[in-house]
Structure 1
Amino acid sequence: MIKESREGTILQIIVKPNSKETKIEGIDEWRKRIKISVAAPPVGGKANRELVRFLSKLLNTEVKIVRGETSREKDILIKNLKIQEVKEKLGI
């Protein structure tokens, strides 16, 4: 779900595109991933851009998709933040 890396923290998420609003839904216990709804369609990278924008603003740091560009399951690199800081800012 959340792992430490050399560059920051890796957040393992599952994305639900085409939602009414962009928000953190909670934790998918079965997949061991954080569920995030995104208010953008999964067309032409729109959902990915919305996800990165949302997390960058929420965490106030650089965010990058490192795995899963075309999948609903993604690994996100959160630069310069430790696991505890990420958990506090995400409220998990």
Structure 2
Amino acid sequence: MTWWRVVEGGVRLSLHIQPGAKRTEVAGLHGESLKLRLAAPPVDGKANEQLVAYLAAQFGVPRHRVNIVSGELSRKKLVEISGVASAAPLFAE
């Protein structure tokens, strides 16, 4: 299994999130997930909001196309982004 796969209408990402980092960035692989560091703290949904905003910006899509499928309260998340065909924008990090 890879950390991303094509699903109907978009891509699904398996992510490992590290909130409270110095800056928001891709940190490499963490097992079979892509590790993202987020500058936002894990309080009151701020890290999830920053995750959605970061992914929307990286993929050039509106925020409503980024959906946290599972793991909203966990570091391990499944995220779907509709309207894209690959996870290539994250490879450039």
TM-score w.r.t. the length of structure 1 is: 0.88
Aligned partner of 2:6 in structure 1 is 4
Q: Which among 53, 63, 79 is matched to residue 82 of structure 2? A: 79
Flag structure 1 segments of 5+ consecutive residues without an equivalent.
none
Identity of matched residues, %: 33
Partner of 1:58, secondary structure, is helix
- RMSD in angstroms over aligned alpha carbons? 1.1
In structure 2, C-alpha distance between the alignment counterparts of 1:2 and 1:51, rounded to whole Å: 16
Number of residue pairs aligned between Structure 1 and Structure 2: 87
In structure 1, C-alpha distance between the alignment counterparts of 2:27 and 2:69, rounded to whole Å: 21
1:82, CA displacement in angstroms? 1.1
In structure 1, C-alpha distance between the alignment counterparts of 2:60 and 2:53, rounded to whole Å: 10
Aligned partner of 1:20 in structure 2 is 22
In structure 1, C-alpha distance between the alignment counterparts of 2:69 and 2:55, rounded to whole Å: 14
1:7, CA displacement in angstroms? 2.7
Partner of 2:43, secondary structure, is coil
1:8, CA displacement in angstroms? 0.8
Aligned partner of 1:90 in structure 2 is 90
Pairing of 1:1-80 with structure 2 (within 5 A): 1-28=3-30, 31-61=31-61, 62-80=65-83
Flag structure 2 segments of 5+ consecutive residues without an equivalent.
none
